[in-house]
Structure 1
Amino acid sequence: MTQASSGQSPTRQGARWSARDWPIAAAMIPFPGTLPDGRAVQGAGPEVWAKSLREVAAAGFDAVDPTDSWLRIADLAPAARAEFLAICAGLNLSIPAISTSRRSVIDPEHGASHLAYCHRVIDTAAELGIGHVSIGLFGPLTDAQQRATWFWTQPGVRNPDDPAIYDLALTRIRDLADHAGGCDIQLSLEMYEDTYLGTARDAVRFMTDLDHPAARLNIDIGNLIRLHRPVEPWAEMIALCAPFAGYWHVKNYTRMEDSASGQVMTHPAPLLGGTINWRAAIWTALELGFDSPFLVEHYGGDGLWVCARNRDYIREVLAAKEKVDDQGI
């Protein structure tokens, strides 16, 4: 199957994209992986997949990341995957990247099977001409997180403070990066609390220890800003991590801190209106050579349409940077 027939966008080479055609994909997190009748989206078939993807296209998107909390395209049979790709092509939706969620390769019970799955994702991306794959070291939601209104307000699974497990993470991710690099795919590692990528300094240390040309950092600092506890300032995170930036999940939160009591509260917000100044963050990364697609995410409310507004905002940010650079301001 060719890239043209599958609706994919090839890995970009050479000069940067312009603000108008920079790939900005919709995340599928607004769409649950289980239907109201209890069926898994994975086996529900093309009619169900098409309904959600039509909503994405109706929101003005021309790119989608089939986030695997919604659908694991790497685990579809060839005929089913072809049907999925045909739907995307018919809606003019390219697939610049595939993101995995909660498939940690050092999970104490499922780490080996998650590693095999991530290799399948890379094989699928290579087959379809998809240039980016995002993985993380974060585990499944706990029972308390699943009951909470916002899962990040409850403690989750932690990566152990164990040098042997840290080395295992490096070994397994290096194995995936070798595979990805051999397929001309960029592997992005997602920042997430209480993992070996759980602070800016930890992420920089891990990337430095990994030291692999095919691996970059998914500087999803929204995952950290939303925590109800002290965190590094967002600008400090960007300054430290932007030199490593690859495929980038972006979202924002309003963070309120009471300095007297130490209480912290957060709530999802659009990119334009939250605590993180995304114009400054994106411009910093661009000045350091950032040249990967974006993924827009949002939890709560009408998440898809907030993502659409976030997409438009990013294009405005990119266009303003082009104008400033062209005019030499």
Structure 2
Amino acid sequence: MAYTADDWPITAATLPFPGVDPQGRSVNEADASHWRSVFDEIRAAGFTNVDLFDNWIKPGDLSTQRLDELVRTAKEAGLGLPAISAVRRSVMDAEHGEENLAYTHRTLEAAAAMGARVVSVGLHQALTPEQQKQLWFWTVEGYKSPEGDRDAWNLTVKRLQELGRHAEELGLLISLEMYEDTYIGTADSTVALVKDIGLDNVGINPDVGNLVRLHRPIESWLEIMEKTLPYANYWHVKNYIRDEDVARDHYVAMPTSLELGLINYRKSIEIAIANGYQGMICTEHYGGDGLSVSSTNQQYLREKVLPRTSDYALGKSQVRQG
């Protein structure tokens, strides 16, 4: 049975929450009461599922006992934990690549133990000191994948295949989050990478918001969606107001809700369904009250965009759906 607006699985990102508790302890070391306070906020905002972004908590670094406690705490708050997003832990980090690979394997194990269905990973690395100084970090260029380096490309494929095979053993999907200046940074490169990996449980997280926010020329958001959505298996959604004055080489973007930004999510969902998409959707937002904007985004999707009934024509995806 195809999903409808009422039952389409939508997760809240824990992105708005800091990685330390009020006592300054890592959230991994915090009391379960702190986890519960965050989960209660998310539930009160209208969500029933959470994507555990590891800027907040790192499930792969929790003991078995603490992981069980996390799942139990979420359940008591009325929330499911179907997804983990491992952020800025690139397996191709020049200094920490092997460490990040091991971390991602632990994250997959944690996801399976939690009963999750998908782990989102990327090739973006830690913010540079210069990026950390900015109001919006994306206004300054960060790490770039070595362009034209076939050895680096092949190693990326090899390591992601390794993770994909492990995920398959655990009954999980892996989704590759699009991010500028990496091998998952353009539509064509992202699709080529997924094809080279060649595993149907490894697909694309078409987080096109990461690309339209750049203060420079960008690909057409519509062309990116058309090329990547046939391979999508999870989806971080957010939006930005964008203005361009090409003659003056002037580009500006600022966060806004899904409904008001440059990316037309009504059209994007239409394309997704035509290409068989039945994956979860995670609502994100940077700045201000990110949880409330994410809640507004969920409301917009359910009330205005997602199909009201299940009798719509569903296309065929090129990857496995969750």
Give the TM bin, normalised by the shorter chain.
Answer: over 0.9
**Partner SS for 1:66:** strand
Alignment partner of 1:115: what SS?
helix
Give the unaligned 5+ runs of structure 2.
314-322
Find 2:202's aligned residue among 209, 215, 225.
215
Please give the TM-score of this superposition, normalised by the length of structure 2. Answer: 0.93
Name which of structure 1's ranges 36-45 and 90-99 shifts more when overlaid on structure 2. 36-45
How far apart are 1:37 and its partner, in Å? Answer: 4.9
Tell me the equivalent position of 1:107.
93
The match for 1:95 is 81
Could you list the per-position Cα deviations for residues 215-266 of structure 1 after superposition, in whole angstroms to 9, with x for gaps in the alignment?
0100000000000011111101111111111111000000110132020000
- Alignment match, 1:255: 242
- Match of residue 50 from structure 2: 64
The counterpart of 2:286, out of the listed 292, 296, 299, is 299
Q: Kindly report which structure 2 residues correspond to 1:149-228, keeping only aligned pairs within 5 A, or say none.
A: 149-161=135-147, 162-228=149-215
What is the one-letter code of the residue matched to 1:144? Answer: E
Listed as ranges, the gaps of 5+ residues in structure 1 are: 1-14
Answer with 246-255 or 28-37: which moved more.
28-37
Name the CA shift for 1:126/1:323 in 2 (closer, same or farther; >3 Å): closer
- 2:83 is the alignment partner of 1:86: no
Alpha-carbon distance between aligned partners in 1 of 2:310 and 2:93, rounded to the nearest angstrom: 46
Q: Distance in 1 between matches of 2:20 and 2:141?
A: 24
Equivalent position of 1:39 in the other structure: 25
Q: Is the contact made by 1:225 and 1:255 (CA closer than 8 Å) also made in structure 2?
A: yes
- Post-superposition CA distance 1:25-80 (Å, at most 9, x none): 00011001134553322212212211111110110110001111100012111222
Tell whether the 8 Å contact from 1:283 to 1:321 is kept in structure 2 after alignment: no
- d(CA) in 1 for partners of 2:157 and 2:312? 38
Report the residue type matching 2:203 in the other structure. Answer: R
Is the Cα contact below 8 Å between 2:4 and 2:307 reproduced in 1? no
Amino acid at match of 2:247: A
Q: Is the CA contact (8 Å cut-off) linking 1:23 and 1:96 kept in structure 2?
A: no
Aligned residues of 2:6 and 2:308 also touching (Cα < 8 A): no
Q: Name 1:273's counterpart in structure 2.
A: 260
State whether residues 218 and 245 of structure 1, in contact with CA within 8 Å, keep that contact through their aligned partners in structure 2: yes
Distance in 2 (alpha carbons) for counterparts of 1:38 and 1:126: 29
For 2:41, the equivalent position in structure 1 comes to: 55
Does structure 2 conserve the Cα–Cα contact (< 8 Å) formed by 1:138 and 1:192? yes
1:285 deviates by 0.5
Q: How far apart are the structure 2 equivalents of 1:98 and 1:28?
A: 10
Q: CA-atom RMSD, angstroms? A: 1.5
Aligned partner (choices 114, 118, 123) of residue 132 of structure 1 = 118
Does structure 1 conserve the Cα–Cα contact (< 8 Å) formed by 2:4 and 2:308? Answer: no
Residues 259, 297 of structure 2: 8 Å contact kept: yes
Confirm or deny: 8 A CA contact 2:269 2:306 kept in the other structure.
no
CA shift for structure 1 position 297: 0.3
How far off is 1:178 after superposition? 0.7
Give the Cα–Cα distance (whole angstroms) in 2 for the partners of residues 56 and 254 of structure 1: 25
* Aligned: 1:308 with 2:308: no
User: What one-letter code is carried by the residue in structure 1 that aligns with 2:52?
Assistant: P
TM-score by length of 1: 0.91
Using the alignment, how far apart are the partners of 1:320 and 1:196 within structure 2? 33
Q: 1:19 touches 1:319 (CA, 8 Å); kept in 2? A: yes
Secondary structure class of the residue paired with 1:96? strand
Moved over 6 A (4+): none
- Which secondary structure does the structure 2 equivalent of 1:279 belong to? helix
- The letter for the 2-side match of 1:309 is T
Q: Percent identity?
A: 42
Give me the whole-angstrom Cα distance separating, in 2, the residues matched to 1:167 and 1:323.
41
1:73 and 2:59 are equivalent in the alignment: yes
Supply the distance in 2 between the matched residues of 1:217 and 1:66 (Cα, whole angstroms): 18
Opposite residue 231 of structure 2, the aligned amino acid is F
User: What amino acid is aligned across from residue 230 of structure 2 in structure 1?
Assistant: P
Return the letter of the residue paired with 1:174.
Answer: Q
Superposed CA deviations along residues 153-198 of structure 1, whole A, max 9, x for unmatched, are 0111111222111111000000001111122211100100010011
State the alpha-carbon separation in 1 of the partners of residues 308 and 244 from structure 2.
32
